[in-house]
Amino acid sequence: MNFRSRSASRRFAAACIALVAAGCTATIPPRVEVTPHPDALAALASPDPALAANKRLVFDMWRSVVDAGHTEAADQMLAEGYIQHSPVLRTGRKAFKEIFSVVPRREIPRLVEPPLVQSIAENNLVVMSLLEKVAARDGTPAYITTHFNLFRVENGRLAEHWHSVHTPPGADVPLPEDGGPQPVTGLLGAAQRALLDSRDPQLARNKQLVFDLWRTVIDAGHEERAARFVHSRFIEHNLNAGAGIDGFRKHFSARPDQPVQPWIRSPVVAIVAEGDLVALVSKQEHPHPARAGRTYTTTWFDMFRIADGKVVEHWDDAVPGEPAAESAW
């Protein structure tokens, strides 16, 4: 089963669309619908040829294998020991090819499907976000959200993958020790400091801004400090929140105030920054629904655009009515 069909089972399970957070007043505008990048190929460009090549590798793998079923391309694009962190997919290149062998083979499209929202690359990591448009089904209205993928590139091949699928694994999904999805891991405490480093001072400042916003408001519940981090023209794409700085404050006002800690509470997988964008990737862990006493892990994604030294736009992988993790948006 491919990434999109697996994620559909999660999406179709959502109860109902909620364009505005519960209790929002008329003064708080609704969130803004996710839209595709106006020029997907331009989003793959970078002044650094290595970063441009990494973004192109992810883009080309997706359109050739995931979209068009050319599984033989995986032999050149994926490392043999490809590590899979999806909660519902087996690990390894061989398993990857078997999973996508069910995709009807067709001419490779020029662009990825669904359409690209953004592509961000830093060092050996690439975050690719796609527009997810879900049709109405069984009384659930149609909605649009964002699907994220994080890849690690090694020696010109894709070596590791995480994505924003939260579908619980069934009994048919092997355990990690049996070739199943490998656990998501992240950094805690002072180890997170390494994720804020960048050779570009502006990217380091952008990462620090997102890091401090998360610690202060998302973790500690101090929505009254939002103006330090959030632009007055804030644009929100989360399905369950209102836009604008007032909508931002309203969304987090229910969280009890706590002391601000020096680190993000959840394990952080990666913080990737390029241009005016920052993606923060964190770990979630849940009881395994089919294996008593076991847990499974998933990945939560947030993407921010920075303007004038503040967060001006936000995307995540929320679905309608889905409660966020304790430290997630």
- The residue extents of the domains of the chain are 3-178, 189-316
Closest CA to 251 of 263, 270, 237: 237
pLDDT confidence of residue 18? 28
Q: Work out the burial of residue 28: count CB atoms within 10 Å of its CB; fewer than 13 is exposed, 13-18 middle, 19 or more buried.
A: buried
110 or 21: which carries more pLDDT confidence?
110
Residue identified by tokens 């920075």 is 306
Residue 322 has pLDDT above 90, yes or no: no
pLDDT confidence of residue 23? 32
Lookup: tokens for 313: 């736009």
CATH of domain 189-316: 3.10.450.50
Whether 149 and 163 have beta carbons less than 8 Å apart is answered as yes
pLDDT confidence of residue 316? 95
pLDDT confidence of residue 30? 67
Q: What is the mean pLDDT of residues 26-47?
A: 86
Residue 17 has pLDDT above 70, yes or no: no
pLDDT confidence of residue 134? 81
Residue 55 has pLDDT above 80, yes or no: yes
* pLDDT tens, position by position, 257-298: 999 999 999 999 999 999 999 999 999 999 999 999 999 999
pLDDT bucket at 323, cuts 50 / 70 / 90: low
pLDDT bucket at 239, cuts 50 / 70 / 90: confident
As a whole number, the mean pLDDT across the chain is: 89
Fold equal for 3-178 and 189-316: yes
Residue 199 has pLDDT above 50, yes or no: yes
Backbone angles phi, psi at 24, to 5 degrees: -65, 145
Domain range 3-178, CATH architecture: Roll (3.10)
Buried b (16+ CB within 10 A) or exposed e, 100-135: beebeeeeeeeebebebbbbbbbbebbbbbbbbebe
Range with lowest mean pLDDT among 13-17, 122-126, 164-168, 169-173: 13-17
